[in-house]
Amino acid sequence: MPIHVIPPKKQLLPKGSPARNQTLRVAAYCRVSTDLDDQESSYEAQIAHYTDVIDQHKGWSLAGIYADQGLSGTSTARREEFNRMIHACEEGQIDMVMTKSISRFARNTLDCLNYIRKLKALEIPILFEKENIDTMGSSGELLITIMASIAQQESQSISQNVRMGIQYGFQQGRPRLNDTRFLGYGKHPKTGKLVIIPEEAETVRRIFRDFLEGMTPGEIVHALELEGIPSPCGKPDWPYSTVLSMLRNEKYMGDLLLQKTVTVDFLTKKKVRNDGQVPQYYIENAHDPIIPREVFTRVQGELLRREQQRKATGKRSVKALDMSLNGKICCGHCRQPYRRVAGKPGTDLPTVWRCRSRRRDPAISCTGRPLKEEIAKAAVVAAFNLVPERREDLIRLQERIRWGPLDRLAHEIEELRVRQRELEMTLNCYYETHMLDERTLVLCSRNRDPEEAVATLLQDLEDVQRQIQLKLSQHGDLAVQELQIASLLKLCDQITSRTGAKQETGSKRKAPRSDPSAQASCRSMEDFYARTDRIRQEGPVEAFSDALVFRYLDGISVEDRQLRVRFKAGIEIPLDS
């Protein structure tokens, strides 16, 4: 069986071979993974090296130096120069790529092979100097697969070592903090500790004060944007979540909770909230506080109370920012809220509020009378001007709350937290040593079984946490009322034009600090009150104000012959109408 060989008519040559192109367009890729000074010299040295090599090689021309600085090689998403080089290869502007080693090209085995195959399909070889590998060679991919796997494993080992170093620093009380979007604090250039920025700290205190006085995060956002106060990012818009996260940030009271998140994949750098996957570290009094500890505790209680209220009603408090009376007017007969019925444009029909349970059928309709909006607003103004007559009632109510249930709940919460820390320490000790002391075994297990004892301890911890949440909610409710009273007493002085005189308000506040060199930190309730007191126009309230309604008013009950204006402070003003 004879076999004849038919010779090729045209010899196919690689795209980058000298026979095809007289001059090879060679590009070099460089990368260093950090911005440290000792890496800066390596970065510059790589650029200088490849510039000299390509310029001195006969038949080569420099097609560009692509260099990424301070970026990890485990992902190509943020490596702009690398992606620009690949795009240039696809556009036919590069014939060959040079790089120092496989680890400089990529530390992700999958990415490394994908891009090597992509360039190989374009007939563009990659030359790895350290390993002396040419990807167009017959054994190139096998060697690259092995070396890329080693590079990836090395990156994983480095990641684990860095994580252990960070955790060891946490155990020694050395935090890693990011202050680029942290309103109120900056980093000290030498010590690295958080230092207060006085101007921003005033905004932080204002947010906490507004929330305690009854404003929702959405209303706070609206007020900040109207006044042109920039967000932590320096932008005019304030996200709702930013205010909410600030109210929950323990750093504002001087403490640090370290390792709130954990990296679950060193290649993708994906982070998730630490819900017990790794230990957390809590440092008390790590830096100067912007918010007193007592104020922060009250805010957490109020956050919890509002969340429980939302779950109970199934509705989130959403208010139109230009309709402060929305949701505040209710019927004195059926206790249903009133709805706003706007007058038709071009007619003399006024805007009125009507009971939601009102029906066309008189037999089943509520008898609650409609209320003109102008009358409702006039009643609010009149009620504010009558508040000074209830001054003594406010002071007695404030003292009853402050020295009664508020103080008792604070003491009970502290006792429960001590018990919580004891249970957590016992459980942590068991998880590390797999042993429990004899006293714990006797108290928590009938048969001295460690597993039964641990189950009992976990149940006790859950019960303690549930009690803390309940008492925090109760404490937050009373604390908001107490602060409302203190703020309303201040407003009483301003309404009666007595702000310049020294008045006994029951809160015993100090005068606001006027010295610009005063200490930026804030550690006491009295200091917090003094710094956050609003400067309002003295004299009576002459016009309806959405801001005053949001801050002080709880609601208006519409009776047959009168209106009852209720304040969040706990007093009620009846008005004939």
pLDDT tier at 566 (50, 70, 90 boundaries)?
A: very high
* pLDDT score of 461 more than 60: yes
pLDDT tier at 383 (50, 70, 90 boundaries)?
A: very high
DSSP state of 349: P
CA–CA separation, 324 and 287 (whole Å): 39
Write phi, then psi, for 503 (nearest 5 degrees). Answer: -115, 150
Q: What is the pLDDT of residue 509?
A: 39
Q: What is the pLDDT of residue 478?
A: 85
Query: pTM, whole model, 2 decimals?
Result: 0.61
Compute the mean pLDDT over every residue in the chain, rounded to the nearest whole number: 78
Per-residue pLDDT reduced to its tens digit, 394-453: 999 888 888 888 888 888 998 998 999 888 888 888 877 888 877 787 778 777 788 888
CA–CA separation, 527 and 545 (whole Å): 28
pLDDT tier at 316 (50, 70, 90 boundaries)?
A: low
Q: What is the pLDDT of residue 252?
A: 92
b or e along 382-420 (b: 16 or more beta carbons within 10 Å of the residue's beta carbon)?
A: bbbeebbebbeebbebbeebbeeebeebbeebeebeebb
CA–CA separation, 506 and 398 (whole Å): 7
| Matching fold, domains 24-164 and 185-313 | no
Q: Which option is the CATH number for 24-164: 3.90.1150.10, 3.40.50.1390, 3.40.50.2000, 3.40.50.850? A: 3.40.50.1390
pLDDT tier at 318 (50, 70, 90 boundaries)?
A: very low
Question: What does the domain layout of the chain look like in residue ranges?
Answer: 24-164, 185-313, 388-497+537-576
Could you please state the CATH topology (level 3) that the domain comprising 185-313 is classified under.
Hect, E3 ligase catalytic domain fold (3.90.1750)
CA–CA separation, 455 and 461 (whole Å): 10
User: How many residues in total does the chain contain?
Assistant: 577
* pLDDT score of 330 more than 70: yes
* pLDDT score of 357 more than 60: yes
Q: What is the pLDDT of residue 173?
A: 60
* pLDDT score of 240 more than 70: yes
Per-residue pLDDT reduced to its tens digit, 385-403: 999 999 899 999 888 888 8
Least confidently predicted of 5-14, 137-146, 278-287, 543-552: 5-14
**Where would I find the H helices in 57-98?**
80-90
* pLDDT score of 11 more than 60: no
CA–CA separation, 547 and 228 (whole Å): 16
- Residues in contact with 174: Cβ distance below 8 Å, sequence separation at least 6, in sequence order: none
* pLDDT score of 302 more than 50: yes
Per-residue pLDDT reduced to its tens digit, 164-177: 666 666 566 666 67
Identify the three-state secondary structure at position 355. strand
* pLDDT score of 540 more than 80: no
**Where would I find the H helices in 324-390?**
373-386
| Tokens 């409302």 -> residue | 484
